[in-house]
Structure 1
Amino acid sequence: MGFSEKQEALVNSSWESFKQNIPQYSVLFYTFILEKAPAVKDLFSFLKDTAGIQDSPKLQAHAEKVFGLVRDSAIQLRAKGEVVLGDTTLSVIHVQKGVIDPHFVVVKEALLKTIKEATGDKWSEELNTAWEVAYDELATAIKKAMN
């Protein structure tokens, strides 16, 4: 069973909800990450000075990229049945930063919590599962390229 048209539509519509307020949801996303794993703060250069994270363009751009990559993964899963990284830059950066498996778990949890907040009463287990599958496939592709 592949990634369904409905799952792709759920990810796309909730991506739009996220984009409605990128500044707020970006801060929320990194707040969730740091609550779960405070030590990862050093992996993100834009989190070194936490005083300015509310208005950090780098933080917002990075969060938008993360969520966008998961959305793109949903599109790839529907079209091709798999996620293929366009280039190795993403995996190289993860290796350089020392990203390990538990980091992927923390990011996934934060991503799902953020999407739940962004979608409000439109959130459902089905929507959660669609994002979870898309994220897991992206994470698998990144980890594969890291090795």
Structure 2
Amino acid sequence: MGFTEKQEALVKESWELMKQNIPELSLRFFTLILEIAPAAKKMFSFLKESDQIPQNNPKLKAHAVKVFKMTCESGIQLREKGEVVVADTTFKYLGSVHLHKGVIDPHFEVVKEALLRTVEEAVGEKWSEEMCGAWCEAYDQLANAIKAEMKEETAHELSSRSNPS
């Protein structure tokens, strides 16, 4: 079926509302991730040093912005191109980082749940089943693209080990 014009509009509309409040939303997003999966804290270098989520951590804010923005852009690309398109180097980097941090499928689900809850809280009464579906589709496509790159990286590493130069 693809990403519809309506889904794209819903993701864009909610992103426009959220952009104005990224510092607060990034804290909320990471708070939710750690509420859902406390062990995830060790996966984020910028959260390791503290027992709490730091209020003014620029790395935390930057990471949250990347997740929100890439998910939003994924939705727009799905509509325009029929697939998620990010620079090859970006996907290779994302695949490599996620692989080496030990990210597995359930971790993507934790982030998805935290993302959806953050968006829902941010947009308030504008939240609907349709908006939820739009963000789910955009996130799932982005996550699948990262997972595909992780598999490619794993295959490359295995190949390198079995065929040393």
* TM-score range relative to shorter protein: over 0.9
State the partner residue of 2:37: 37
Pairwise CA RMSD of aligned residues?
A: 1.1
Structure 2: which 5+ residue stretches go unaligned?
Answer: 152-165
Which deviates the most, 14-23 or 63-72? 14-23
State the partner residue of 2:160: none
Give yes or no for the alignment of 1:101 onto 2:105: yes
The Cα offsets for residues 40-78 of structure 1, whole Å up to 9 and x where unpaired, read as 101001112244611111111100000111011001100
Q: Distance in 1 between matches of 2:52 and 2:37?
A: 18
Map 1:57-136 → 2, pairs under 5 A: 57-87=58-88, 88-136=92-140
Residue identity matched to 1:143: K
Displacement after TM superposition at 1:85 (Å): 3.5
State, as a whole percentage, how many aligned pairs show the same letter: 62
Q: Which protein shows a greater Rg?
A: 2
Residue identity matched to 1:56: N
Please give the secondary structure, in 2, of the residue aligned with 1:55. coil
State the partner residue of 1:139: 143
Q: Distance in 2 between matches of 1:92 and 1:32?
A: 25
Q: Distance in 2 between matches of 1:18 and 1:44?
A: 23
TM-score, normalising length: structure 1: 0.96
Q: Is the 8 A contact 1:18 1:115 kept in 2?
A: yes
Q: Distance in 2 between matches of 1:27 and 1:99?
A: 21
State the partner residue of 2:159: none
Q: How many residues align?
A: 147
Residue identity matched to 2:60: L
State the partner residue of 2:163: none
Q: Distance in 1 between matches of 2:137 and 2:84?
A: 11
Give every structure 1 segment of 4 or more consecutive aligned residues whose post-TM-superposition deviation is greater than 3 Å. Answer: none
Q: Distance in 2 between matches of 1:106 and 1:56?
A: 21
Q: Distance in 2 between matches of 1:44 and 1:21?
A: 22
Residue identity matched to 2:19: K
State the partner residue of 1:4: 4
